[in-house]
A and B are shown apart, each in its own frame.
Chain A
Amino acid sequence: MTSFRLEKGGLIDRAASLSFSFDGKGFTGHPGDTLASALIANGVHLMGRSFKYHRPRGVISAGSSEPNALVELREGARQEANTRATMIELYEGLVAKSQNRWPSLAFDVGAINSLAASMFVAGFYYKTFMWPKSFWEKIYEPLIRRAAGLGSAAKEADPDKYEKAYAHGDLLVIGSGPAGLMAALTAARLGARVILADEGTRLGGSLLFENEEIDGKSGLDWANSAIAELASMPNVTLMPRTTVFGWYDGNIFGAVERVNDHVLAPSPYEPRQRYWRVIAKRAVLAVGAEERPIVFGGNDVPGVMLASAMRAYANRYAAAAGKAAVVFTNNDSGYRTARDMRTHGVRVEVIVDSRADSRVEAGGVPVIRGRKIVDVKGGKGVAGIELDDHMHIGCDTVAMSGGWSPIVNLACHRGARPKWDATIAGFVPPDTGESFVAAGSAAGRMLLSECLADGAAKGGGKPSDAPKCRDETYAIKALWWVKESKTKAFVDYQNDVSVKDLPLAAREGYSDIELVKRYTTTGMATDQGKLGNVNAIAILAEATGKTIEQVGTTTFRPYYTPVAFGAFAGPFVGRHFQPTRKTPLSDWAEEQGAVFVETGLWMRSSWFPRADEDWLASATREVLATRSGVGICDVSTLGKIDVQGKDAGAFLDKLYCNTFSTLPVGKARYGLMLREDGIVFDDGTTSRLADDHFLMTTTTANAARVMSHMEFCHQALWPDLDVQYVSVTEQWGQMAVAGPRSRATLQKIVDGVTLNDETVPYMAAKELTILGGIPARLFRISFSGEHAYELAVPADYANMAARALMQAGEEFGIVPYGVEALSIMRIEKGHVAGGELNGTTTAADLGLGKMMSTKKDYIGRMMAMREGLTDANRQCVVGIRPFHRSDRLRSGSHFLKRGDAPSIANDQGYITSVAFSPMLGQWVGLALLANGRARIGEMVKIFDGLRGIHQYGVICEPMHFDRENARLHA
């Protein structure tokens, strides 16, 4: 194979060699190469197949706008589809495969689509595969996806780490070409905190590949000294390999740093990529301009590329695009390519300048003026070109320049539209205010001296701060497409949108640019029309008889370039998807063999199996042991809120539907809190520890919501109340000690108190010490229906206290019980919980209507009196038991009247909670039933549509067990 590596020059390390493979074939390149430049240096231009027609495609650009050279990079779990060969830094051992071809890149069966091209015109998705409808999902779509898909993703989990981070600065400069470097230097010298980000491997932007002269040195030398100065300043952060992809409210920018994309595998300690949020007081958009292709026949043959790309490959990477080049341009900058290539010893056959009257220094290269290329000859490589006067010229590569489009994307991310500038024939950024300004060619300034001066000014200095430089001329006369071309001419390479598709869309009624985008897919996919959009707009303008300004652009949205999902997820994957919250008793529970269950973020002990018990056997045993002896359960997750201040009682009276200001010190009371709309919000016991000190508890699920509710109510509704509150949930490890032997067990660990109905009566809240001095709170409250307590100790002592209780209760057969047993016991007792407090029920629905005070105002009082909320026919809580004692009940099953068929109209209610009652030896449940309290004893049909179960049940009182509450006071 002939080498296309130039003998000298380039920012590559020729002393070192890197081996890589493309489509299974081995090649070598040098550090400093991209995959694209290394392939070009090896004479490989064919890098992919196009989306619809499977046409052979080569590299078009030398940067992030690349639409064609998309490859599958790496193998196995690290395989990454649609990776731009122009952005992949070469590393030792790199493996890449071309995409969208079968069986091989050189011979692709799918290319037959070209012969059926008329079937694939604009809107083909909507036209060709419409009938019959049922074919779409099963046949057409899978077929199209297989034929048209670009690359395939890895199936395994991503083995690499990703991070997130924040950065702050006075000035963020995006882009490190002449304008960006000048802006950063100027601001940094004035003492500002500067962040300079650039998507490139190394900083310097266009100065890395253009022949410029600044301050008496080469552009590259000037850039290097500017970068060295910036690097030496403590107020400057340089961020190469960092793409700023979006601009958001608050002048916050999103960026992704490719920390380790340039190595085979990252160090285990480092991330592959880092997702940045950059918070900048001011920002300068100095991202430069993108060269546009010209739309002419065969403009997609591998070997046809942007003029700037061709000279970038030669100047920066020492890779020649061919042996004999033709330049096709409508502006002055194309001449630079001709001169540079000639300097590198590449023959340049001719410059074809579409302008009849241009006068630009061509460096000895012949110029044909006022002519256009109508066709490129060749299939997998360029063989020659044909001009509109039928002249044929032999060549193996074509450089094209359709002018320059300022890269306005970021400036438009918050909704502003770019403005058309006829002088440069391009859209320029909108005015987005002082905090984000464009500089240099991103602002439409096409001369180097203008870029430097603009950079200095936008960096906070004077334009005259910029160094002297040599300017190239720049002028353009727009040429969007070559109408004389008969062969396929592409506007959007990535989506295979040809010049004919756009007028067709307009003829079929899709003439708005946003509709044209959707109908033709122009400007979609990974490159988002970076190269093709302006041409498409111009072609559509002519087809619809409008000006380019009138047609306008499509909406610019983040992300500027594709961002990996891994970068968004950051470190929050798998077990770390959300934080885990452990209770102070988790060590003790683990020792006891607990099986844990996620409850919100908490890990709660769910049951404590012995030997090979399943959850039901374990929970049943735990209930029986508790009800016959004693059991302890971790209830630390209940929300605990300290409420203090002169008006603490008044505050609680307004929050809860029942009254707390009358609660004596040392006592606890059950409370019910309504939402503003009268529906029940939360419940729990509140204790009074001192005149001005209450301790509220909330349900585990609502702890944070109740706290927010309190803050809102206090700050917005009753700011005059002297009340303070703070969550103390985590301060305490709390355990329920329940069962007929609970008092005897506790007696063995409390200090200096004899526990009886006088010292700790029902609903007492007492501060004491245990185990010889550990501070504790003892509440005589019960959720299980047993004689029970809750014991709270400061969290660091919780495991110790639980172990001591286990020892103390050994003689009574003490067991640990989990939330399953807890739930069984509360259902046996008919206590409502999450299933019933489900955001649809009123206090009356829950059988707690009497708690609603008539002597005071409180949140939810007025709305709870609404007709619909007091309707006698509302669904309210009842008990349910299966008619056949051995039947199992299922939560979520619906009730029907005995003779009715299942329908929404016939629905009578549903089961909210079920449990196998160890005490009754059968399944029991709680349910919501229309006018339920009047229907105790009624037989109903139970329908479970999911499982296809029809059975009968009997409505009963919610309290299934110990209706006299004898055990509570035993």
Chain B
Amino acid sequence: MREGFHRISPLADVAIQGRFGADKGAPGVELSVRHPLSIVTVIARKDKAEALSAALAGLKGCVVQWAGADQYYAVSETYAEGALYRELREKLAGLASLSDQSHGRIVIRIAGPKARAVLAKGTPVDLHPNEFLRGKSAVTQMAHVGVHLTRTGEDAFELSVFRGFSENFWEWLTGQAEEFGYQVS
């Protein structure tokens, strides 16, 4: 690829770094955009759900998130354009259909003591740590937008939305975080 051609996030001019919202000491949440990212939709072929699930368990170099019945997202920060898609297509040949979604979804990370409180303003999913364990994902809706939600830590989550909604979703999300104060990094 010619030099100087970089992927530009739709939130590049929107998710501006800094401290916003109410000042009640430490920010209630920290928000960041994971970009650039490789994301591949993996859907089991007919009668291959179990074999696929076993194959996915052995994958290295990417995180696999549940995304529906026999569907997953494989996510990684370390691959070049299209490389994860090509690699998985080889490794999972015959087991799954794959589609590159690296540019189609925007992943926002939210972390901090108020992360659950902010998300409770959008999703009906119970995010209590006993109910929604680390590594678990849900397909839900927040602010009228479909969201793929994953718990990545005790107080840390990832929200993946269609790229086209990302700016609108960001505006909503930061609005909900205002009362706690938030840091964009």
Contacts and interface: CB of A to CB of B under 8 A. Distances in A.
A163 B180 CA distance: 14
B45 A582 contact: no
Interface in A230-281: 267-271, 277, 279
A268 B175 CA distance: 10
Contacts of A165: 120-121
A277 B121 CA distance: 10
Contacts of B1: 772-774
A865 interface: no
Contacts of B96: 724
B120 A581 contact: no
Nearest to B121: A165
B100 A270 contact: no
Interface string B116-132: 00001101101010010
A728 interface: yes
Contact of A728 (B101, B169, B175, B176): B101
A165 B120 CA distance: 5
Contact of B81 (A692, A693, A794): A794
Interface in B152-184: 162-165, 167-169, 171-172, 175-176, 178-179, 181
B99 A775 contact: no
Interface string B55-80: 00000000000000001000000000
B2 A277 contact: no
Among A645, A795, A797, find the residue whose CB has the most chain B CB atoms closer than 10 A: A795
B99 A646 contact: no
Interface string A557-601: 000000000000001100010111111100000000000000001
Residue of B5, B9, B165 with highest tally of chain A CB at under 10 A: B5
A617 B128 CA distance: 58
Interface in B35-59: 36, 41, 43-47
B102 A279 contact: no
Pick from B2, B22, B97, B126 the residue with the most CB of A within 10 Å: B97
Contact of B124 (A166, A583, A731): A166
Given A269-B21, A277-B124, A771-B2, A794 B102 contact: yes
Contacts of A723: 46
Contacts of A693: 97
Contacts of B145: 579
A649 to B, nearest CB: 14
A724 B172 contact: no
Given A168-B126, A270-B179, A724-B97, A582 B171 contact: no
A338 B104 CA distance: 72
B148 interface: no
A269 B176 CA distance: 9
A796 interface: yes
Contact of B5 (A579, A583, A797): A797
B164 A571 contact: no
Interface string A704-734: 0000000000000000111110101111100
A658 interface: no
Contact of A731 (B98, B102, B179): B102
A602 B164 CA distance: 8
A333 interface: no
A279 B126 CA distance: 9
B22 A269 contact: yes
A797 B1 CA distance: 12
A731 B100 contact: yes
A499 to B, nearest CB: 48
Q: Which of B7, B46, B104, B126 has the most CB of A within 10 A?
A: B104
B25 to A, nearest CB: 14
Contact of A795 (B5, B22, B103): B103
A188 B35 CA distance: 43
Contact of B99 (A692, A720, A728): A728
Given A269-B178, A731-B102, A279 B8 contact: no
Given A724-B97, A728-B101, A164 B121 contact: yes
B36 A796 contact: yes
A799 B8 contact: yes
A642 interface: yes
A269 B99 contact: no
Interface in A611-668: 642, 644-646
A795 B126 CA distance: 33
Report which residue of A720, A724, A772, A794 has the largest number of chain B beta carbons within 10 angstroms of its beta carbon.
A724
Contacts of A772: 1-2, 5
Q: Which of B82, B103, B145, B165 has the most C-beta atoms of chain A within 10 angstroms of its own C-beta?
A: B103
| Most chain B CB neighbours (cut-off 10 Å) among A166, A602, A771 | A166
A165 B7 CA distance: 35
Contacts of B26: none
A166 B172 CA distance: 16
Contacts of B81: 774-775, 794
B133 interface: no
Contact of A270 (B22, B47, B124, B164): B22
A576 B98 CA distance: 34
A585 B150 CA distance: 29
A796 B2 contact: no
Nearest to A252: B124
A581 B165 contact: yes
Given A579-B145, A730-B162, A773-B2, A794 B103 contact: yes
A193 interface: yes
Given A724-B43, A796-B7, A644 B120 contact: no
A269 B102 contact: no
B143 interface: yes
A193 B129 CA distance: 12
Given A269-B179, A583-B164, A795-B163, A731 B99 contact: yes
B104 A267 contact: no
B168 A581 contact: yes
B121 A731 contact: no
A905 to B, nearest CB: 45
A934 interface: no
Nearest to B101: A731
B128 A730 contact: no
A871 to B, nearest CB: 42
27 contacts: A161-B175, A168-B128, A193-B128, A267-B22, A277-B124, A279-B126, A571-B175, A576-B172, A579-B145, A579-B165, A579-B168, A579-B169, A581-B164, A584-B103, A644-B97, A692-B97, A722-B45, A726-B99, A730-B101, A730-B105, A730-B162, A731-B100, A774-B1, A794-B7, A794-B81, A795-B104, A795-B163
Given A193-B128, A584-B163, A728-B99, 20 more contacts: A166-B124, A268-B178, A269-B179, A572-B143, A579-B144, A581-B162, A584-B10, A644-B97, A644-B98, A644-B99, A645-B46, A693-B97, A724-B96, A728-B100, A731-B103, A732-B103, A772-B5, A794-B102, A797-B103, A800-B8
Interface of B: 1-2, 5, 7-10, 21-22, 36, 41, 43-47, 71, 81-82, 96-105, 120-121, 123-124, 126, 128, 131, 143-145, 162-165, 167-169, 171-172, 175-176, 178-179, 181
